[in-house]
Structure 1
Amino acid sequence: MKRLYVLGSGPGSELMITPQVEQAIAASSDLVAYGLYLELLGERTRDKTLHDLPLGEEIERARLALNLAAAGKPTALISSGDIGIFAMATLVFELLERRLSGAETESDDHDWRQVDIQVMPGISAMQAAAASMGAALGHDFCAVSLSDLLTPWETIETRIRAVAAADFVIAFYNPVSRKRRWQLARAKELLLQRRPADTPVILGRNLTRQDERVSVCTLAQLDVEQVDMLTLVLVGSSATRCFQNGDKQWVYTPRGYARKLTPPESVAP
């Protein structure tokens, strides 16, 4: 069986790698990923053939993984977090569909049709950020990437306006980069038009890794200069609450149990 494992290795900590992903890595002879993700796997990469392709070469990474698997080498294509969320899984299927439809002619001898593709989810950054501070994703939420490298900013802004109006908790992926600083500030501006200035915001950098840094501020206090490309920005809804318990700060979004917790008013006979 020619097999390609498309898997998410979690936000960073080895403890966040699922048993299913562990088994897939162990069964693979070749691992394809961005170098940092391979480093985070630790000893799991021992005796494996590693294919480290830099950022910006995602298409080459996906194509290489398909070719290796088609050549009969059990291969794992790896992203951090969940590989199906703003990651490599979608590119694998886009390339495969193009090949099958004839939109992309085969320039090599590899037949991708014979590859058994297995997608394996991982714990996402937004889950890790929410859990580190309580339960911010306790009610309806969404995820929006602020990177306009592949999606026009006009489309991204339309989505921000829509989810702001719908009052979702929002996980912002790819909030800034070295060359892209203004998008997060614009997203903040749009959200402040729809929700309170004291809305809790969780900033999670290098989540679950040794140098993890998680903090809470308000939407009004959100400072773009405190955010980099390794930070997830989780903005609460208008219902999201923040409170202090000793030295610990908790953030949660109620689901509506208050009506069940509060006894109904007694009705006069």
Structure 2
Amino acid sequence: MTPRAREAIESAQVIAGYDTYLELIKDLLGKKKVIGTGMMQEIDRCQAAVEEALGGYDVAVISSGDPGVYGMAGLVLELTLKYPESVQPAVRVIPGISAVGAAAAILGAPLMHDFAVISLSDLLTPWEVIEKRIEMAAAGDFVIAIYNPKSTRRTMQIEAVREIALKYRHSSTPVGIVHHVSRTKEQMVLSNLENFTREHIDMFSLVIIGNSQTYIAGGQMITPRGYQV
């Protein structure tokens, strides 16, 4: 959480967010009005937040990581645009630290060159589209960061990522996995493209697959930028 994000939460009169994320900031909620919903209720939650803002309240909509990276920033902006410009509430997107950036810092420096960030969740994006993006990123030798890599329902998509990447990269290509990044259960695992799917991976994991130049040294994952050292 950035200082600006904390200040925005503390100054808000109403807090809206996914119940799991609200639990993480319960010490900041105090006696504020709270709009909490479960998974798959993002539109209802953000609509309720916009209506509170239309009523004159200062509202903070909570996302994990950065609200503009698989968060609620886009949805809130889209919902406010449905109202006449004369009554649209002002929206400020307050940056946070994205999971991919935080995980990269834990692993070392795996994102020092061009990289792609891809979510394996097919709830809003068809798997065929996700698969094509993985193929293109692998073919282009991008470092690939994977959000939502595996759930109890989705178990084969991460295996498909491995198979696609192996078409373009050596089996020894470094892969880093960070669980519960920046939370109390944080854990980091270094593996390789051949074996990484044997590690524990779930929805609280972020996976970073190195490019053809990435290596591991001193327990850290490094992707060279190209400096001559």
CA–CA distance in structure 1, aligned partners of residues 151 and 211 of structure 2: 25
CA distance in 1, matches of 2:70, 2:125: 12
Give 1:215's match in structure 2, choosing from 152, 170, 189.
189
1:21 aligns with 2:5: yes
Whose relative contact order is higher, 1 or 2, with alpha carbons under 8 Å and at least 6 apart? 1
Question: Structure 1 stretch 24-33 or stretch 36-45: which is displaced more?
Answer: 36-45
Unpaired runs of 5+ in structure 2?
A: none
Is 1:255 aligned with 2:229?
Answer: no
Larger gyration radius, structure 1 or structure 2:
1
CA contact (8 A) 2:46 2:61 kept: yes
Q: Partner of 1:11 in structure 2?
A: none
Query: Which range moves more in the overlay, 216-225 or 111-120?
Result: 111-120
1:89 to 2:65 alignment: no
Number of equivalences:
229
RMSD: 1.6
Q: When the two structures are superposed, what TM-score results if normalisation uses the length of structure 2? A: 0.95
Q: TM-score, normalised by structure 1?
A: 0.81
- Superposed CA offset, 1:180-229 (max 9, x none): 11111101110010111111111111111111111110011112661111
Partner of 1:136: 110
CA contact (8 A) 2:80 2:89 kept: no
2:41 is aligned with 1:67: no
Could you tell me which runs of 5 or more consecutive residues in structure 1 were left unpaired when the two chains were aligned. 1-16, 102-110, 262-269
Per-residue deviation at 1:69? Answer: 0.7
What is the DSSP-based 3-state SS (H/G/I as helix, E as strand, rest coil) of the residue aligned with 1:208?
coil
| Contact 1:138/1:254 (8 A) holds in 2 | yes
1:158 maps to 132
CA distance in 2 between counterparts of 1:224 and 1:49 reads: 44
Aligned partner of 2:95 among 112, 121, 127: 121
**Whole-angstrom CA distance in 2 between matches of 1:116 and 1:96:** 9
Distance 2:198 2:87 in 1: 45
